[in-house]
Amino acid sequence: MSWILGITASYDTDTEIVAVGGYPPGSPDICITVLLVTFKNSEEEARKALQEAEDSHPPGTVNRWFCKPTSLKQEYEDQAAANPSGHRYCADNAYLSNDADVAETLEAAFTTLPHRKSFTLWYAMAPVSRRKLPDMALSMQTDHYFALYTIWEDEQDDERCQNWVRDIMKDVETRSEGAYLGDSDFQTRRTRFWGEEEGKKLMRLRREWDPLARICGYLDVGDKSGLNGLKNVHEWQAMAEI
């Protein structure tokens, strides 16, 4: 993790960098897989973009390949295999603060998975996260996006797997700037989801164009947020200050 964290901030902007903690097929152990997917017009350009990682990665890898072609079809198939239907899921996420010790913060999340089908993910947002954003919905960003996808099959494992997610996030959220809406459960955990001014604008527009709150709020417990919408604050911080 220290290696990949060290090269991402200035890496080729056409290359997506992800680290995944999980059980590879046939492996008895959790492994950290670092994936670099680059989008280029030629194999020569792709090799040039991937060469920095190939030349600098730490020794002792369990498995590796370099400049292996893929396709959107293959990527969709791999994603479908990682997220099987007919299973039970509990997901959460956080944008880690830029000054957080990412490797230390995510160590437990990457090494203590409660089920073989579960996995955790760190996604390099840098250097795109350092750009000044236009007036857009995705106003919450940092250099480090983290998500966990806890997947299991047996109802008897519900409490154990869900408690694992809560325990991981109790520590992670204190080192985060907020979270991404799409992988969040507002009935379980609330935090910041927008930049401060963007959040205020969103609620102002909501009050202006839906004054009777005919459209439901954010599906928090009992939809209590109603017309006011979610508070764009760290709930854990507010609780700690009481």
Q: Where are the domains of the chain?
A: 2-183, 196-241
Q: What is the DSSP string of 134-183?
A: -S-S-----SEEEEEEEEES-GGGHHHHHHHHHHHHHHHGGGEEE--GGG
pTM here is 0.91
**14-32 pLDDT per residue, tens:** 999 999 999 998 899 999 9
47 burial via Cβ count (<10 Å: 0-12, 13-18, 19+): middle
- CATH number listed for the domain at residues 2-183: 3.40.462.20
Angle between helices 102-111 and 158-172 (to 10 degrees): 180
* CA nearest to 216, candidates 199, 228, 205: 228
pLDDT of residue 164: 97
Residues whose CB is less than 8 angstroms from the CB of residue 139 and which lie 6 or more positions away in sequence, other chains included = 133, 194, 195, 198, 199
Beta bridge partners of 92: 148
pLDDT of residue 159: 97
Q: Return d(Cα 137, Cα 170) in angstroms, integer.
A: 26
Along the 242 residues of the chain, how does pLDDT read in single tens digits?
Answer: 999 999 998 899 999 999 999 999 889 999 999 999 999 999 999 999 999 999 999 998 999 999 999 999 999 999 999 999 999 999 999 999 999 999 999 999 999 999 999 999 999 998 888 887 777 778 889 999 999 999 999 999 999 999 999 999 999 999 999 999 888 888 889 899 998 888 888 889 888 999 888 887 778 888 888 888 888 999 888 776 65
Q: Return d(Cα 124, Cα 35) in angstroms, integer.
A: 11
